[in-house]
Structure 1
Amino acid sequence: MSKYPDQQYQLNNHLPVNQQIYQQLRREIVECMIMPGTALSEKEISARFAVSRQPVRETFIKLAENGLVQILPQRGTFVKKISIKRVNDGRFIRDAIERSIVLKAVELVTPAQMLLLEHNLKRQTLAVQNNLLSEFLAFDDQFHQLLADIADCPLAWETIENIKATMDRVRYMSLSKVSPPSCLLQQHHDIYSAICEGDAVAAERAIGEHLNEIIYTVSSIGEENSEWFEI
C-alpha cells in the first residue's frame, strides 16, 4: 500500500509546478493523509507528479520553512510531529495581526466587501451542512483573507499563511470533536456582525475569541493522538 493518498496527480498550467506540488503536499500533511513521521522520497514524489526532482526539492524546502517537514542531510526528509510550542507561537503572532486587521476592516469596509463576506459565510454554511471539512477549511481561510484585503493589507495574510501550517494540522484534527465547524461558523458570523455594525470593540473581541479556540483544543487533541506530537 502506498504511503501517499494516490499515485498520480494532474498538474495544470495555472500555477508554477513547485507551487502546485507544495499546495497538494501541504494539504495532505495538514489533513493527516500523510502521517507524522512519514519519510518523503524525492524519487517517488517526482514520479507521482511526473516532474523532475528540482521542483520537489523546492517544495521540501518550503515545507521545512513552514514547520511541516524536517530535512536531515544524508538521511532524508520526514513529516514532522506537531510542535505544541510552534502552535502556540503561531497563535500568538496571528492574534496580534488579526486584531489589527479587524480594527482596520471596521474603518474601511465597503458595502460590496460586506457582500463578499456574506457570500463566503453562505458557502461555509453549505460546507458545514454537508460535512465537507476540507471545503470548510478553505472557505475559513478565504474569510480571513478577505478581512486582510478589506484592511488593505494583503501582506498580513501572506504572513499569516507562512506561520499557520502547524496550527492548521491541529485545527483539522479538532473539527470532528473539539471545535466543530458549526462553532467556528458562528464565531465567523460574530466577526461579520461586529464589522457590519461598525463596532470595533466587538470585532476585536470576536476575533480574539475565535483565535483562542485553538488553546482549548490543542491539549485535548494532543492527549488523544500523543504519538503525533513532539514531547
Structure 2
Amino acid sequence: MDKLAVIEATAPIGAQLIADLRLRIVTGALPPGTRLSEKEIATAYGMSRQPVREAFIKLAAERLVEIRPQRGTYVCKINLHEVAQSQFVREAVEADIARLAARAADPGWIETLQAQLRTQSQRVTQGGAVFVELDELFHQTLAAAADRSGVWAHIQPLKMHMDRVRYLTAEEFPLDHLVLQHQAIVDAVAAGDEDAAEASVRVHLRGVLDDLRKVAEMLPHCFDPLPD
C-alpha cells in the first residue's frame, strides 16, 4: 500500500488515515473484498497499529469495511440497498439546489458551468476517475451557484455508497450521455426555469439506479448478492 501523499503536521494522523482509506475504498483503489492488513497499513503509513485499528472501527461504522473476528478486516462489497438510500438523499438535496440555482440564474456561475461542460466534452473519453472528478466539480459548482456550498459539503459522507457505483460505471459504460444531461441542467438554470432544472437533475441522478443492476450483474464480485 502506498504511503499518504501528504501528512499535515497540524492534523491528527488518525483522521488523515481514515480519510485516505475511505477515499481508496470509494474510488475502487481498494476493491470490494480486499483484505486489509493492520500491520501492513501501519508500516505503510509510518504509525503504530492503534490508529489503524481505530480507523477500521470507524470505517466499519460507515459500512465500508467488515471486521471479521479472528479472520481479518475486509473491504465491504457494495450493497444495493445502501446505494439506493444514498441516491435518494442526494436527489432530494440536489433537486432543491437546482431550483435555487435557476432562481438566481447568475451569469458568472452559468459561464463557469459552461466552461466545465467544455472540459467534460474534451475529456469524456478518458473515463474513470478523471470524469468522476469533473462530475463532482460540476455538482459542487452548481451548489455554489445556489449559495449552498455548505450543504454540498454536508452530503459528502451521505453519498459514499452511491459514489462507489459512480466510479465503477465510469469505467464500464460510455459517458457522453452524462455530458448531455449536465448540459440540460445548465440550460434550465440559464433560462431561470426552476421546474426544468429540478427535473433535469432528477433524471441525471436516477441514471445511477438505472445502471445499478446491470453493473452488478457484470461485476458480481463487487456486490452483495442480488435479490431474486
- TM class by smaller structure: 0.7 to 0.9
Identity fraction in percent: 37
Deviations 1:1-48, CA, capped at 9 Å, x for gaps: xxxxx4434324388344543443233323333222222223211211
Q: Take 2:99 and 2:215, find their aligned partners in 1: how far apart are those partners?
A: 31
2:83 maps to what in 1? 87
- AA aligned to 2:89 is I
The CA RMSD over aligned residues, in Å, is 2.4
Residue 112 of structure 1, CA deviation: 2.2
Taking structure 1 as the reference length, the TM-score comes to 0.84
Give 1:57 deviation, angstroms: 4.2
Q: What are the equivalent positions in structure 2 for 1:102-117 lying under 5 Å apart? A: 102-117=98-113
Cα distance in 2 for residues equivalent to 1:58 and 1:108: 44
Gaps of 5+ in 2: none
Match of 2:92 in 1: 96
- Give me the TM-score of the superposition, normalised by structure 2: 0.85
**Contact 1:95/1:211, CA 8 A, preserved across alignment:** yes
Using a 3 Å threshold, how does the CA distance of structure 1 residues 228 and 132 change in structure 2: closer, same or farther?
A: closer
| Residue number in structure 2 paired with 1:183 | 177
Write the distance in 2 (CA, Å) between the matches of 1:125 and 1:65: 38
Contact 1:29 1:68 in 2 (8 A): yes
SS at match of 1:71: strand
Instruction: State the Cα distance separating 1:225 from its structure 2 match.
Output: 1.6
Q: Is the 8 A contact 1:87 1:167 kept in 2?
A: yes
What amino acid maps onto 1:184 in structure 2? L
1:11 and 1:20 in contact (8 A); partners too: no
Say which is worse superposed, 83-92 or 14-23, in terms of deviation: 14-23
Alignment of 1:141-152 (within 5 A): 141-152=136-147
Query: Which sits farther off after the overlay, 55-64 or 143-152?
Result: 55-64
> Equivalents in 2 of 1:229, 1:53: separation in Å?
29
Mapping 1:58-207, distance limit 5 Å:
58-72=54-68, 75-129=71-125, 131-178=126-173, 180-207=174-201
One-letter code of the match for 1:141?
E
Residue in structure 2 matched with residue 229 of structure 1 by the alignment: 223
The list of structure 1 runs, each at least 4 consecutive aligned residues, that deviate by more than 6 angstroms after superposition, is none
Contact 1:29 1:79 in 2 (8 A): yes
Change (3 A) 1:191 1:163: same
Decide whether the 8 Å contact of 2:132 with 2:170 is kept in 1. no
Higher-RCO chain (CA-CA 8 Å, sequence separation at least 6): 2
- Report deviation, 1:224: 1.4
Equivalent residues in 2 for 1:7-86 (5 A)? 7-13=2-8, 16=11, 17-72=13-68, 75-86=71-82
Show structure 1 runs of 5+ residues with no match.
1-5
> What is the distance in 2 between the residues matched to 1:44 and 1:213?
38
Distance 2:9 2:138 in 1: 23
The structure-2 alpha-carbon separation of the partners of 1:199 and 1:62, relative to structure 1 and needing over 3 Å to count, comes to farther
Q: How many residues align?
A: 224
